[in-house]
């Protein structure tokens, strides 16, 4: 059974998120008199909009363009081969100048997109690049983008519900409006702690799947080392919608707690211990 640990963690966090969402739905039903079917439709619509806009904004923010098969034949051949081995449809390939070596995937299993930075192509050797591509394909196969969009949307909905609870139970004043805003932000951050914990674990799973796909964890480990060194030598900041999707990303303190990615050092160590 593949990724038992992930499935157990997903079950626990999904239960917690469902409890949060149920509370938010209750607020809508009790406070506004909305029927449950309307709450369900609005929720699905909200998630759908988040998914579509998130994908488009990520691609647009880095200026991604379709990757020419004539200019990058080896990458296309690699993606086609790995996609076939991993049991997914070959995703759309795009290239962008991000100012730093990186890559990210968007979309779902049957309609995915992988974006590779020109800097990554220049810095990595062929095996290392294969490891990064396999990692991104694993995200598509595991439906990570869809899963995280749903989870983040639930966090946003819960935050909005918390704001309305304060607004409806308090006085109509500027102070109460400010309090509602703060409560909504804090509540959303609380939920996001659980969401980001799952996101970090899914990075480990994608690393493991990539190592299985190319036969070793060493190439991806070397790629992460090079990407980290390059990131430390540049002050380029990515849009949040892109940074959450990229193969590399870390933080310290509270930022680390809410980071979508685990420690690069830990990822490298796990890849080199991969069997």
Pairing verdict, β 65-66 and 92-96: antiparallel
Give how far the C-alpha of residue 82 lies from the chain's centroid of Cα atoms, to the nearest Å: 21
Query: How many of the other CB atoms lie within 10 Å of CB of 157?
Result: 23
CA atoms within 13 A on the CB side of 273: 7
Q: Which of 136, 218, 232, 265 is catalytic?
A: 136
CA proximity to 102, closest of 239, 245, 260: 245
Burial class (CB in 10 A: 0-12, 13-18, 19+), 20: buried
Q: Which residues contact 110 (CB under 8 A, 6 or more apart)?
A: 88, 89
**Residue 90 in contact with residue 83, Cβ under 8 Å?**
yes
| 136 annotated active-site | yes
Residues designated catalytic: 136
């Amino acid at each position: 059974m593949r990724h038992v640990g992930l499935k157990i963690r997903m079950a626990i966090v999904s239960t917690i998120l469902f409890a949060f969402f149920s509370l938010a739905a209750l607020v809508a039903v009790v406070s506004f008199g909305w029927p449950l079917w309307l709450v369900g439709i609005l929720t699905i619509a909200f998630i759908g909009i988040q998914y579509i806009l998130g994908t488009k904004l990520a691609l647009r923010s880095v200026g991604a363009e379709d990757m020419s098969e004539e200019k990058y034949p080896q990458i296309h051949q690699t993606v086609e081969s790995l996609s076939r081995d991993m049991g997914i449809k070959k995703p759309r390939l795009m290239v962008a100048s991000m100012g730093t070596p990186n890559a990210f995937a968007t979309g779902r299993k049957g309609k995915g997109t992988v974006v590779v930075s020109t800097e990554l192509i220049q810095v990595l050797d062929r095996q290392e690049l294969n490891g990064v591509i396999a990692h991104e394909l694993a995200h598509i196969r595991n439906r990570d983008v869809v899963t995280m969009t749903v989870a983040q949307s639930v966090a946003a909905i819960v935050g909005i519900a918390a704001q309305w609870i304060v607004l409806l139970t308090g006085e109509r004043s500027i102070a109460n409006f400010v309090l509602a805003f703060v409560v909504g932000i804090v509540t959303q951050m609380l939920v996001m702690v659980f969401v980001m914990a799952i996101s970090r674990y899914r990075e480990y799973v994608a690393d493991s799947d990539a190592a299985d796909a190319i036969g070793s964890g060493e190439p991806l480990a070397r790629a992460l080392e090079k990407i980290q060194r390059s990131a430390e030598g540049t002050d380029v900041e990515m849009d949040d919608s892109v940074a959450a999707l990229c193969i590399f990303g870390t933080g310290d303190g509270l930022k680390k707690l809410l980071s979508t990615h685990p420690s690069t050092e830990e990822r490298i160590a796990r890849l080199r211990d991969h069997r």
